[in-house]
Structure 1
Amino acid sequence: MFVLELTYTKPLDAVDALLAEHVAWLEEQYEKGVFLASGRKEPRDGGVILAVAEDRARVEEVVASDPFTLGGVCTYRVTEFIATKTVPELARYRQTLG
Structure 2
Amino acid sequence: MKFFLIEIEYIVPIEKLDEVTPAHREFLQVQYDKGILLISGPKVPRVGGMIIAKSSSQEELQDLMKDDPFLKQNCAKYTYKEFAPVKYQPFLKDWLGI
In the alignment, which of 86, 89, 98 is matched to residue 88 of structure 2? 86
Q: Helix, strand or coil: the match of 1:51?
A: strand
Runs of 4 or more above 3 Å deviation: none
Q: Does 1:27 align with 2:20?
A: no
Aligned to 2:54: 52
Q: TM-score, normalised by structure 1?
A: 0.92
**8 Å contact from structure 1 (residues 21, 67) kept in 2:** yes
User: Are residue 77 (structure 1) and residue 98 (structure 2) matched?
Assistant: no
Structure 1 residue 94 displacement after superposition: 6.6
Q: Which has the higher strand share?
A: 2
Provide, for residues 9-47 of structure 1, a one-character-per-residue CA deviation record: whole Å limited to 9, x for no partner. 000011111011001001000001110000100000010
> 5+ residue gaps in structure 1?
none
- The root-mean-square deviation of aligned C-alpha atoms, in Å, is 1.2
- Please say if residues 63 and 76 of structure 1, whose CA atoms lie closer than 8 Å, have aligned partners that are also in contact: no
CA contact under 8 A between 1:18 and 1:68: conserved in structure 2? yes
CA distance in 2, matches of 1:60, 1:6: 13
Unaligned runs of 5+ in 2: none
User: What is the aligned residue count?
Assistant: 95
Change in Cα spacing, 1:94 to 1:82, as seen in structure 2 (3 Å) is farther
- CA distance in 2: counterparts of 1:16 and 1:7, whole angstroms: 14
Whole-Å separation in 2 of the counterparts to 1:41 and 1:82: 22
Q: Which amino acid is the alignment partner of residue 42 of structure 1?
A: V
TM-score if structure 2 supplies the norm length? 0.92
